Amino acid sequence: MNTKTEHEENDREQAHGLNARSATVIQTMTGVYERLLQSLSALQEVKSVEVGVSEKDCVWEDGHVRLYHFRHKAGKQQQRVRAPLVRTPILIVYALVNRPYMLDLQPDRSFVQQLLLNGVDVYMLDWGYPTRFEHHLTLDDYISGFVDDAVNAVRKNANVKSVNVVGVCQGGTFSTIYAALFPKKVRNLITIATPIDFSVKDGLLFEWAKEMDVDAMVDSFGVVPAEVLNAGFVMLKPFARLQKYMGAFEAMNDETKLMNFLRMEQWIFDSPGQPGECYRQFITDLYQQNRLIKGKLQVGRKTVNLGNITMPLLNIYATNDHIVPHSSTKALNRYVGSEDKELYEVPGGHIGIFVGSKAQKELAPKIAEWLQERDGE
């Protein structure tokens, strides 16, 4: 075979290979386009995304802040729940940055439902959506004001002298401070994924907060917009967001998976703004100056002393929490005055601790059992 013939044969082989690859690309793109059309069709068929599924009653409110009491009976979407086995009710205090219905997201992923099923009487604070007129609210307004008023409302409604306080994330920090300031009103303290020692260097969020010009942010916005805060949380794990949407794209034809995805998306982007003065103090006094464990935190005219916490403590952390490092959470047990104190690990991340399948089976039963053992007169 001469050189010219060899070149012609090579050209034909290359052309054939190119055509084959082009056909593969076209076929792939056609498949993606068809799945996109199917996904759009599936989304158009979604009429509504229901969250916060458990039946409840508002028993107290102050402006945009409400206190809910969950019913111990079956509704259309609820399983039959037990009458309370724990005489002392719990008050759940959630973080300001997100909506508390994460704890009652859907029937098969409801921390609240699991507590009810295990015989716990559940109240929960809902911070609502602060307006620009509430930019002046301080840490003292939230803890000595709203939290204390809610505790008093639960005490009156349940006819008890003290309540079990369950704090989640920033709400756990609030609950810890409250327990130190008003120890006689807290029978047992449970903290979940709660930042306490802000000097740790294990979390990216903690490092960013230390360098934040919070004065410029608060002075500019008044009420810090949710979009600003959400952008920061997204940047903690940027590729996780991409993976999440790729996974959702593949699950569009599965109604159950699609609705699970949409419920989470609704919760993520249904975030309140942050009243500026409370946000300023939380960042400055805690993230940047670590005043809580130093015994130097001022809330109103009172100094917070963690040693005043002498009631039983259950301190819970998630194994894969990328927002609140273990070391920050675990520190609480070293500073409280409680003799009865326990550290407890739950599988999952900062959110998975509540909605993950393993956490669903483990977290609420553990809390219910722990409370029953400490529910004497």
Helices and strands (H, E) in the chain, number of each type: 16, 14
Joined tokens for residue 5: 């013939």
CB 201 within 8 A of CB 325: no
pLDDT score for 355: 73
pLDDT-derived band of residue 75, with 50, 70 and 90 as boundaries?
very low
Residue 126 has pLDDT above 80, yes or no: yes
What's the mean pLDDT in 247-262?
67
Q: What is the pLDDT of residues 290-322, one digit of tens each?
A: 999 999 999 999 999 999 999 999 999 988 877
What's the mean pLDDT in 229-233?
63
Residue 204 has pLDDT above 80, yes or no: no
pLDDT score for 180: 98
Homologous superfamily, domain 58-372: Alpha/Beta hydrolase fold, catalytic domain (3.40.50.1820)
Average pLDDT across the chain, whole number: 82
**Rounded-to-integer distance, Cα 101 and Cα 331, Å:** 28
pLDDT score for 208: 77
Which of 85-89, 205-209, 331-335 has the largest mean confidence? 331-335
Phi, psi of 106 (to 5 degrees): -160, 165
Residue 112 has pLDDT above 50, yes or no: yes
Higher-confidence residue of 230 and 269: namely 269
Which of 89-93, 211-215, 359-363 has the largest mean confidence? 89-93
Residue 337 has pLDDT above 60, yes or no: yes
Among 24-33, 73-82, 217-226, 345-354, the minimum mean pLDDT is found in: 73-82
**Rounded-to-integer distance, Cα 10 and Cα 6, Å:** 6
pLDDT-derived band of residue 77, with 50, 70 and 90 as boundaries?
very low
Beta strands in 80-230 (DSSP E): 90-93, 104-106, 109-110, 122-126, 163-168, 186-192, 223-224
pLDDT score for 76: 46
Taking the domains of the chain in order of start, what are their residue ranges? Answer: 58-372
Q: Of these residues, 169, 283, 297, 353, which one is catalytic?
A: 169
What's the mean pLDDT in 63-79?
75
58 is catalytic: no
pLDDT-derived band of residue 149, with 50, 70 and 90 as boundaries?
very high
Residue 39 has pLDDT above 60, yes or no: no
Percent of the chain at pLDDT exceeding 70: 73
Beta strands in the chain (DSSP E): 56-62, 65-70, 90-93, 104-106, 109-110, 122-126, 163-168, 186-192, 223-224, 274-275, 298-299, 302-303, 313-318, 341-346
Of 96, 92, 136, 97, whose CA–CA distance to 110 is shortest? 92
Amino acid at 345: E
Torsion, CA 362, CA 363, CA 364, CA 370, rounded to 10: 100
Q: What is the pLDDT of residues 156-190, one digit of tens each?
A: 999 999 999 999 999 999 999 999 999 999 999 99
DSSP SS3 for 252:
coil
pLDDT score for 94: 95
